Amino acid sequence: MMFVTCILQMCGGRVIVQKYSVRNLKSLVKSNYPFHVMKYLFPQIGDLPIDNPAQNAEGYFRSAKVTGLIEKQFHAGQSAVLLYAGGVPGMAYLLENGQGKSMALAEFSAIPQESLRNVRAIKFPDIAGRLALLSFESALKLNSTITDDAVWREQVNQWKRDQWTGLVEIKSETLHGLVLLWQGELQESDIIFSTPLGLVTAFPHLDTLRDFPWNLLAYSLPASDQAYQYAVLRHGSMHWMNRILSRYQELVGHKLLQTMDRELNQQAQPWSWKILFNESQVLDSHFFIYLNEAEQAYRALFMSMGSQMNIVIGNILTQRLLNETFEQIHPDERAILQSLRLVPAAFSE
């Protein structure tokens, strides 16, 4: 009799492997066994052209140093995914009931091939990677249908009134998108949509799209999760940097600001950080898969900013500038910066 090995669930951090005969497996599918709809990110993206992805996908991501995802699909409703950031393996999850449960990388790699229905490997921008990480770590709060642009705009206005922070997933026949809301505002730096024409990092134009209805899923972000803490740290660091650069330009003028931008961009380049300084704006599109990596990068950039300002405007003005701008960012952002000692006193002599 032929048997099929299926990975059914996580229990105490371990993958439970069970064998079923083909006959019994068919009967399970017909019964009330709790199979669920698979969480399938960015279905419009074509798979990477890799022979035998179950064996070769991990090697591809490491050698190509790209960001992406490997999805190992079991029976309907369950899959395991592994995120890569710049070729480095990060977090692995078992997806069940629309939620992600973390699993060890060794467990992901050791999943027996005979239990797999399909293996999918896709690459995408770092922005998609960090939003995917948030989706796996978050908890579903709202599942609704958006029938037209008026309903969508009313929902956005409600989030603004509530100053809600969370992740929004949008699904339709032609779209699949992830969007981060921060204190009620859609974040232009954290939007990714897969479309028939590929990935776009901007919200589609509703006037021309017309592909309603949408399935809208809104996720709350647990404050204790590192994915959420990384998001708070990233936004806090970028908001503080923007305010520092804007105030610095007011004091020294455009040319000296450009000099600082140039030196900061040069500092980021050897590390391959996708962080761009342009005038008084900072665009962070990098995916730091671990919180301490982001902390180290932001600390190095803040140190450079403080050192250059000390030289140009002196220590007293630098301290005043850092303190004033630090108080202007949101209290939640300020709190996580303080917890990591990313504070004005650390960056002025």
Q: In the prediction, which pLDDT does 38 show?
A: 36
In a domain? residue 133 = no
In a domain? residue 287 = yes
| 115 and 197 together in one domain | no
| 96 and 14 together in one domain | yes
Amino acid at 56: N
State the average pLDDT over residues 98-118.
87
What is the CB neighbour count within 10 angstroms for residue 225?
16
Q: Say what the pTM is.
A: 0.84
| 83 and 42 together in one domain | yes
State the average pLDDT over residues 254-270.
97
In a domain? residue 203 = yes
In a domain? residue 132 = no
Domain finish residue from 101, 124, 147? 124
Domain finish residue from 75, 102, 124? 124
Q: In the prediction, which pLDDT does 44 show?
A: 85
Residue pLDDT, tens place only, 268-326:
999 999 999 999 999 999 999 999 999 999 999 999 999 999 999 999 999 999 999 99
CB of 9 within 8 A of CB of 79?
Answer: no
Q: In the prediction, which pLDDT does 208 show?
A: 58
| 70 and 171 together in one domain | no
In a domain? residue 102 = yes
| 182 and 212 together in one domain | yes
| 215 and 295 together in one domain | no
Q: In the prediction, which pLDDT does 251 show?
A: 97
Domain finish residue from 195, 220, 245? 220
Q: In the prediction, which pLDDT does 39 show?
A: 43
Between residues 137 and 20, which one has the greater pLDDT? 137
Residue pLDDT, tens place only, 184-243:
999 999 999 998 888 998 887 765 566 889 999 999 988 888 999 999 999 999 999 999
| 153 and 116 together in one domain | no
Between residues 28 and 134, which one has the greater pLDDT? 134
In a domain? residue 131 = no
| 195 and 253 together in one domain | no
Query: Residue 346 carries which DSSP code?
Result: G
In a domain? residue 94 = yes
In a domain? residue 233 = yes
State the average pLDDT over residues 315-343.
97
What total of structural domains would you count in the chain? Answer: 3
| CB contact set of 289 (below 8 Å; sequence gap of 6+) | 83, 85, 88, 90, 91, 129, 133
What is the domain extent for residue 114?
Answer: 3-124
Beta strands in 39-131 (DSSP E): 68-73, 79-85, 88-96, 99-103, 118-123
Residue pLDDT, tens place only, 117-163:
889 999 999 999 999 999 999 888 999 999 988 999 999 999 999 99
Name the least confident of 85-99, 124-138, 167-181. Answer: 85-99
| 157 and 257 together in one domain | no
- Alpha helices, DSSP H, located in the chain: 22-30, 53-64, 105-109, 126-137, 149-162, 206-209, 226-252, 254-268, 291-313, 315-326, 331-339
Q: In the prediction, which pLDDT does 288 show?
A: 95
| 7 and 120 together in one domain | yes
| 11 and 115 together in one domain | yes
Residues 241, 253: Cα–Cα separation, whole Å: 17
Residue pLDDT, tens place only, 53-65:
878 898 999 999 9
Task: Using alpha carbons, list the distances in angstroms from residue 268 to 172, 275, 285.
Answer: 38, 7, 12
| 146 and 230 together in one domain | no
Q: In the prediction, which pLDDT does 3 show?
A: 36
